[in-house]
Structure 1
């Protein structure tokens, strides 16, 4: 059957309840959706939003129906594919951390079927063949998966399909054979209490369920360094019919993108557009207003406009002190941000006072390995660094890094910030070899995560030049 005939059939016969059938048919629906998810094409992802939603819903419904039949016994499924050698090298270095699949993940109950695909892929000189062995624990509820044999286009395949953004912890990686071309990689399902998982997947259930989720998808793109894709997504969304509330969100998120690209003037423009809408449509103490004031304050701080930054952060803090419980994480964030500004202004004792308030809340309200705890430890370390109390600074930097290396991916920009801080500290302590090592690690991450003209890149390159002169 020609593609045109298949498209005609889809237009006339597609129903929500046969989304999996259309996905497994491997016609234009499968090809276009997977290409869009792989390349993060905002236009196509939005236009196929109905299909993504239906596919997720059908997997979720089947998952609920099938769950009692699995009992409590874990079982294994398999996936064979090729990975570029560079991607496989990264995978080996991140053993023990998390791996996320951005598409709908197809797996098989039959090992030999998946092994065939892995072996076939290993014939490509640029790739290695990977046999993923995924242990499914039916008691873990963080990932929707289902046997789709009865609803698939191909009724003979023992296929288990996972919904989008399935996240696993990487286990053992073993070579199969002796030619360095074929490997098996063990993946474990993560549970809802997994701290790293919460960071990665907080947005997912909401994102797939409704329109406002596209905004959350953009935040995910930003957090993973896909700034251009996030910007493209929000601009497409602004062209769609939307409420004033949604427009404010998209402008706010564009401000967030521009802030993280280091384009602070444009960030202020977008944040101000969002704030203008929110001030007209929301009550005076609405949390979204506090969010706008907070982010404008953060951007002014990055621009070195500390007096303006302090005005916005104090405004945010005042609103949150009126409306939030005394141990609320957002209150801790505001104390932290006021502390940051005072640190930049050289008022170190004031800065420490606000940081300690933030730390007091976070140590009670958050798990011991939460990234926000790492941030406050790092910030306190920065104050002690400025006060030339280097051993105290080192102690807090080490606390921060210990958490970050457990909870963040190896290329996360926050890790680069910590490495950069260690570099500066060791430079002041005249341990130049250590300083250079940390600066180079920061540079590696920032080069892959930030635009080439970002101020952080310029700064770390100057540090590296300074250290090399000392060696």
Structure 2
């Protein structure tokens, strides 16, 4: 135990032994030893209960303070997961998924051993969009796989499960539309009990009056006692605060869809209200419970889509991402906030999934851009040339995309100090642009500066000055 007790990846140790009294002494000495069992059925029940608690505690959250909401000009100040899940949600619920989506998901599961082969075969045969909630609640590891992907912002998992996220969201939305009249326009309460590590609890305390987003699909209960059990158990764990979220829901607000899933869930005895991903609440009172320093009640209020502060924030995120294409928007956002490793993962996944040459060329060029910022110029050249080769085969010789491609490759060679190669690419780009653009176009000025910079590096100053002057003339007009 001394060798494994402090390993953070290890949540708990369970002992199965006929000599219970001897081993129970170890539970007092080592925090990671959860329990000792002499009966296999009891051991399985204990494991299932603790796994459920683990999933309950590991849901991803983002905290947006009042000050952060007021300064939307600098998105780098916001928690990245808040932005990622907002954009992922925008993209995934509107993307078109063909019949290969399920097959790609099955292949991914088999390759990465994510789900039992028995359940993979069953999913492939039986899955339809109307059963998304059933499969989400069915103990097949699909639930934990999806939540892990959303918690860690694993682009590979999220994109591969995009069809399932869309189906799950739409099924919740349809159920909400069927059920909304049953609320008779009256606000109601739902509850969620879980643990927060103390550093996250400190963030939550600073977020009072601000926003809290649950970045996964959010499971809540109409029964306070059930949720309080989860919170109470979590409060007994080291470095963890038990939280009972008390959530006020106005069914008349246009907001993230939610629905009672009792009839659709695998566990149809539970009175569960399931919210779609990226549900945003405003944080209210935070109160200590039962004189316990590690147990708190937190009041939350569901925000409306037209909440002014939330609207300003989401509009700014969407504006920053740009582009009408969902995948391009996400990639742009990741690059904008300097998340180059995640952008690289995203573009590699998209590259594998597309057969469209224009898309392939775009993804290669984006990967080249990523590699420049990662300091890997050789790899940047490789990706840019892969994209360039596709463009040369599919576009006329005089085309804006080709000119941009020549400029990109020239830029990398210039950064590497290979000025002769850089000059060749820059001059070719300039030649194309001269044929396509008016003589006073700003892009021409940029290309003149590129060529001038290389001549400056080569110490051919009169030539450099000539190109700088041409650029200057354009900027003066």
TM-score range, shorter chain: 0.5 to 0.7
| Deviation larger for 69-78 or 122-131 | 69-78
Contact 2:260 2:273 in 1 (8 A): yes
Residues 441-460 of structure 1, C-alpha deviation per residue, up to 9 Å, x if partnerless?
xxxxxxxxxxxxxxxxxxxx
Taking the aligned partners of 2:246 and 2:415, their CA distance within structure 1 comes to 45
Partner residue, 2:104: none
1:111 Cα shift? 2.4
Matched, 1:24 2:137: yes
Q: Deviations over 1:401-429 (max 9, x none)?
A: xxxxxxxxxxxxxxxxxxxxxxxxxxxxx
Q: Distance in 2 between matches of 1:133 and 1:302?
A: 56
> How do 1:416-455 and structure 2 match up within 5 A?
none
**d(CA) in 1 for partners of 2:400, 2:249:** 39
C-alpha contact (below 8 Å) 2:221/2:271 kept by paired residues: yes
Report the 3-state secondary structure (helix = DSSP H, G, I; strand = E; otherwise coil) of the residue aligned with 1:37.
Answer: helix
Report the Cα offset of residue 87 of structure 1: 2.0
Contact 2:207 2:283 in 1 (8 A): no
| 1:53 maps to 2:166 | yes
Partner of 2:284: 172
* 2:253 is the counterpart of 1:136: no
Which residue matches 1:463? Answer: none
Q: Report SS of the residue matched to 2:242.
A: strand
Partner-residue secondary structure (3-state), 2:256: coil
Shift of 1:196: 0.9
Following TM superposition, by how much is the alpha carbon of 1:58 offset from its aligned partner in structure 2, in angstroms?
Answer: 1.4
Deviation of the 1:33 alpha carbon: 2.0
Cα offset, 1:23, TM superposition: 0.6
Once the 2 structures are TM-superposed, how far is the Cα of residue 243 of structure 1 from its aligned partner?
1.0
Partner of 1:431: none
Deviations 1:255-306 (A, max 9, x none): 45446656678667656765775687679999989998999999999999xx
Contact persistence 2:357–2:390 (CA under 8 A): yes
**Alignment partners' CA distance in 1, 2:149 and 2:156:** 9
SS at match of 2:241: strand
1:188 aligns with 2:302: yes
1:361 match = none
Q: RMSD between aligned alpha carbons?
A: 5.3
Q: Where does structure 2 lack aligned partners over 5 or more consecutive residues? A: 1-114, 418-422, 451-471
The 1:251/1:175 distance shift into structure 2, 3 A limit, reads: farther
Give the counterpart of 1:10 among 109, 123, 131: 123
1:80 and 2:182 aligned: no
Please, which of 272, 295, 314 is the counterpart of residue 197 of structure 1? 314
More RCO (CA 8 Å, sep 6+): 2
Q: Say if 1:215 and 1:253, in contact at 8 Å, map to a contact too.
A: no
Matched ranges for 1:326-405 at <5 A: none
Partner of 1:93: 206
Q: For residue 243 of structure 2, give the secondary structure of its aligned residue in structure 1.
A: strand
Paired with 1:150 and 1:122, the residues of 2 have a C-alpha distance of 32
- Once the two structures are superposed, residues 146-177 of structure 1 have per-residue CA deviations (whole angstroms, 9 ceiling, x without a partner) of 2212211122222221222x142442251323
Measured in 1, the distance between the counterparts of 2:182 and 2:376 equals 54
1:67 matched to 2:180? yes
Match of 2:237, SS? Answer: coil
* Most deviating of 244-253 and 295-304: 295-304
2:218–2:279: 8 Å Cα contact kept in structure 1? no
Q: Normalising to structure 1: TM-score of the pair?
A: 0.54
Unpaired segments of 5 or more residues in structure 1? 323-333, 342-350, 355-471
Change (3 A) 1:200 1:286: farther
**Greater fraction helix:** 1
Evaluate the alpha carbon distance shift between residue 7 and residue 297 of structure 1 in structure 2; reply closer, same or farther with a 3 A threshold: same
What TM-score do the two structures reach when normalised by structure 2?
0.53
Does the aligned pair in 2 maintain the 1:82–1:128 contact within 8 Å?
A: yes
Count how many residue pairs are aligned between Structure 1 and Structure 2: 336
Q: Point out the structure with max Rg over C-alpha.
A: 2
Q: How far has the Cα of 1:201 moved from its partner?
A: 6.6
Q: SS in structure 2 opposite 1:181?
A: strand
| Closer, same or farther: CA 149–256 of 1 in aligned 2, 3 Å | farther
CA–CA distance in structure 1, aligned partners of residues 121 and 270 of structure 2 = 27
Report if the CA contact (8 A) 2:368-2:384 is conserved.
yes
Q: Taking structure 1 as reference, are residues 169 and 28 closer, same or farther at Cα in structure 2, changes over 3 Å only?
A: closer
Q: Secondary structure at the match of 1:232?
A: helix
Aligned counterparts of 1:129 and 1:272: Cα–Cα separation in 2: 54
- Give the whole-Å Cα distance in 2 for the aligned partners of 1:230 and 1:198: 21
Structure 1 pair 222–170 and aligned structure 2 pair: CA distance change class (3 A): farther
Whether contact under 8 Å (2:137, 2:267) holds in the other structure is yes
Matches within 5 A, 1:115-126: 115-126=228-239
Question: Structure 1's 133 and 283: CA in aligned 2 closer, same or farther, altered over 3 A?
Answer: farther
